[in-house]
């Protein structure tokens, strides 16, 4: 359950704070023989996708679990994001210079989620206040997410020690998430990151 909670909190941050699409990218990412040398994000959807990521900064690099994480993000959506919101995740790990797709195991990895809104409700029950710092900045943590702009100023989080499966520990990862509703793509985001777990 802790692994699902970590996934869902990450999903909540993506949904609530970034509201994704396809136009800009950070320029911190470089690849040398398959190795990630910096956190990177890139919108990967269609030009008319309604949800747009404008900025996303995360440190430290690599991300440590357990450990402190500093993040800021901004984005917007031109349509309300309401249940059901399908989410297709593709997760790859760098192994000996090659990118290997990780299958969906125990609801982690390259998985299809019928409704991301249900995942959020599992972590933060409806009616419960949103966790900090979302509450402080008036950011929602449940569907529906109204059309508009969202912004999270630089904020500190603590990533707790969780029992990660062996295939999701130290290493370089690429993850792509495609958000959709009623057969229509709403957003697509690719993230490259490095994880360090004790």
Of 13-22, 106-115, 171-180, which range is least confident?
13-22
Q: Angle formed by the axes of helices 116-123 and 2-13, to 10°? A: 120
CB proximity list for 164: less than 8 A, separation 6 or greater: 3, 65, 197
pLDDT at 99: 95
Q: 196: closest CA among 64, 93, 69?
A: 64
Phi, psi of 157 (to 5 degrees): -130, 155
Q: Rounded to an integer, what distance in angstroms lies between the CA atom of residue 164 and that of residue 129?
A: 27
Query: Going from the N-terminus, what domains does the chain have, and what CATH number goes with each?
Result: 2-160+170-197 (2.70.220.10)
Q: Are 173 and 92 in contact (CB under 8 A)?
A: yes
Mean pLDDT of 83-89: 96
CA-based radius of gyration for the chain = 16
Check whether 149 has a pLDDT greater than 80.
yes
Q: Rounded to an integer, what distance in angstroms lies between the CA atom of residue 130 and that of residue 19?
A: 17
Burial 129-160 (b: 16+ CB within 10 A, else e): ebeebbeeeebbbbbebeeeebebeebeeebe
pLDDT at 181: 95
Q: Rounded to an integer, what distance in angstroms lies between the CA atom of residue 21 and that of residue 44?
A: 7
When pLDDT is cut at 50, 70 and 90, the band that residue 7 belongs to is very low
pTM across the whole model = 0.79
Check whether 159 has a pLDDT greater than 80.
yes
Helix (H) or strand (E) holding 158: strand 148-159
Of 70-84, 135-149, 161-175, which range is least confident?
161-175
Name the token pair of 122: 């599992």
Q: Please write the tens of the pLDDT for every residue from 28-63.
A: 333 444 444 579 999 999 888 999 899 999 999 999
Name the token pair of 15: 């949904």
Q: Please write the tens of the pLDDT for every residue from 131-142.
A: 989 999 999 999
Question: Measured on CA atoms in the order 195, 39, 59, 141, is the torsion positive or negative?
Answer: negative
pLDDT at 174: 95
């Amino acid at each position: 359950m802790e692994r699902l909670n970590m996934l869902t909190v990450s999903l909540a941050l993506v949904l609530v704070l970034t509201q994704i699409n396809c136009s800009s990218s950070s320029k911190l990412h470089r690849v040398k023989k398959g190795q990630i040398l910096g956190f990177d994000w890139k919108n990967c959807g269609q030009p008319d996708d309604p949800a747009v990521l404008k900025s996303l900064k995360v440190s430290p690099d690599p991300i440590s679990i357990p450990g402190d994480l500093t993040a800021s993000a901004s984005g917007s959506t031109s349509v309300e994001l309401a249940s059901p919101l399908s989410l297709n995740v593709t997760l790859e790990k760098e192994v000996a210079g090659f990118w290997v797709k990780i299958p969906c195991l125990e609801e982690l990895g390259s998985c299809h989620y019928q409704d991301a809104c249900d995942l959020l409700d599992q972590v933060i029950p409806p009616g419960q206040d949103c966790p900090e710092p979302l509450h402080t900045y008036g950011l929602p943590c449940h569907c529906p997410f109204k059309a508009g702009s969202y912004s999270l100023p630089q904020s500190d989080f603590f990533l707790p020690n969780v029992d990660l499966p062996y295939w999701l520990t130290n290493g370089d990862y690429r993850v792509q998430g495609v958000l959709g509703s009623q057969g229509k793509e709403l957003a697509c985001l690719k993230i490259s990151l490095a994880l360090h777990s004790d």
